[in-house]
Amino acid sequence: MSRNILTARADFPVFEEYPGLVYLDNSATQQKPRQVLEAVRKYYSFENANPLRGLYDLSVKATDAYENARRAVRGFINAREDCEIIFTRNATESLNLVAYSYGRANVNEGDEVIVSIAEHHSNMLPWQLLCKEKGAVLKYLECDEKGEFTEEALSALLSERTKLVAVTQISNVLGRLNPIRRFAELCHKAGAVIVCDGAQSVPHIPVDVQELGVDFLAFSGHKMLAPMGIGVLYGRRELLEEMPPFLSGGEMIEYVTREGATYAPLPHKFEAGTVNVGGAVGLHAAIDYMNELGFEAIEKREAELTALMMNEMQKLPHIKIFGSDKPSDHCGIVTFEIEGVHPHDVAAIFDSDSIAVRAGHHCAQPLHKQLGVMSTTRASIAFYNTEEDVMRFVRSLGQIRRKMGYDE
């Protein structure tokens, strides 16, 4: 069954409760449709049990719900096998899992790790810590002022000592889509693995891990309509098989003695303790919902709204948009500053008009330093936003300097 994207907003209870809300903080987290909320409610009402452990009917149902969610994720990103999908709490935990498990086992003194300067701290700090611990060399892949990373720049950094490259598919500040497939080819030619942060891409564009050629991909459920507390790590099976567990305890073992343990096979080796079945069920429902909408419709709608927003913003004085001046380069993310007004004041004034945006460094301080600013304001779009949302945002934006006492 297909769903009309122009009427999808009616599926989100938050907009009934707050009819005047203009929600433009979708890069931080998305709102949840009834279909997701109902799936989670149904699970906890009628299928709740500790999965994987019980032989009774209710536990089997919980296990089936959990593994069906894993299968849905595999199909959504086109992984080869269900066991290549590891459930975590969020993208941050997924990236830390790779750093602590794969990184500690494979990166040694004198080796090199390359991280893009545009990374969210979640895909930067784990590699900083790993390199300090192991005595490895951390290199940064630089972008230009529009947020573009070139193949030439990456090739210049790659060497026979490079073990790993960490790069986002879409910047959470500039919205720029990176050429991950080509980057993966360059990394593999140099003998390195590539770790991709898909937190901003998976909710907005079709992501095919086999086509991209990435070794690891991390993303969060809450940024794609699902509950908080559920995330995904995709990893190539041959890499995951060789990696030691990240956490130890229940469910991730086959057999325990006084002297040691035999670990469970993939994917359970990396899913210690009681798992978040409710979150996985919500993620499954979110995937079903997005598949009903279709990515063609999602991308088209978000591109239209982004273009409207940027075109109207560019008519206003004293506004600087960071990154490319082309709306198609922003993937629904528009980060900007207003001359003479601190981003926190900008966000507060927007809030007084019931408009939700994000102000600060967006967990990307090194990128902000490269851009020559301490903080910015970010408006980020989802398919359930409307033209009226955008125009209310623009009208409020046009009044901010006057409200701060500037003579226009």
pLDDT at 254 over 90: no
Instruction: Name the residue with higher pLDDT: 331 or 249.
Output: 331
Taking a C-beta distance cutoff of 8 angstroms, is the pair 51, 66 a contact?
yes
Segment (H or E) for 351:
helix 343-352
**Three-state secondary structure string covering 104-144:** HHHCCCCCEEEEECCCCHHHCHHHHHHHHHHCCEEEEECCC
Average pLDDT of the chain is: 95
Q: For residues 253 and 349, what is the distance between their CA atoms, to the nearest angstrom?
A: 53
Q: What percent of the chain has pLDDT over 70?
A: 97
Question: Quick one: average pLDDT of 294-305?
Answer: 97
Set 131, 187, 196, 363: catalytic member? 363
The DSSP result for 171-210, as a single string, is -TTT-PBP-HHHHHHHHHHTT-EEEEE-TTTTTTS---HH
pLDDT at 269 over 70: yes
pLDDT at 346 over 90: yes
Q: For residues 374 and 47, what is the distance between their CA atoms, to the nearest angstrom?
A: 48
Structure tokens that stand for 132 in this block = 């300090």
Question: Quick one: average pLDDT of 263-284?
Answer: 92
**Number of Cα atoms under 13 Å in the Cβ half of residue 116:** 32
pLDDT at 140 over 50: yes
Q: Of the ranges 50-59, 227-236, 278-287, which one carries the lowest mean pLDDT score?
A: 50-59
pLDDT for 255 equals 64
pLDDT at 212 over 60: yes
pLDDT for 408 equals 64
Return all residues near 42 (Cβ < 8 A) that are at least 6 apart.
none
Taking a C-beta distance cutoff of 8 angstroms, is the pair 85, 244 a contact?
no
23 three-class SS: strand
Q: Taking the model in full, what pTM does it have?
A: 0.96
- In whole angstroms, how far apart are CA 96 and each of 90, 101, 124, 162, 254? 10, 8, 10, 19, 24
Active site residue 331: no
pLDDT at 378 over 60: yes
- pLDDT by residue (tens digit) across 47-105? 999 998 778 999 999 999 999 999 999 999 999 999 999 999 999 999 999 999 999 99
pLDDT for 251 equals 67
Start-to-end C-alpha separation, the chain? 52
pLDDT at 1 over 50: no
- pLDDT by residue (tens digit) across 333-344? 999 999 999 999
pLDDT for 263 equals 74
pLDDT for 200 equals 98
What sign does the CA torsion over 103, 109, 111, 112 have? positive
pLDDT at 252 over 80: no
- Tokens 């906890």, located at residue: 44
pLDDT at 276 over 70: yes
Which structural domains are found in the chain, ordered by start? 5-31+294-403 (3.90.1150.10), 37-290 (3.40.640.10)
- In whole angstroms, how far apart are CA 365 and each of 120, 121, 137? 8, 8, 20
Confidence at 206, pLDDT banded by 50, 70, 90: very high
Question: Quick one: average pLDDT of 303-332?
Answer: 97
pLDDT for 265 equals 81
Taking a C-beta distance cutoff of 8 angstroms, is the pair 400, 346 a contact?
yes
382 three-class SS: coil
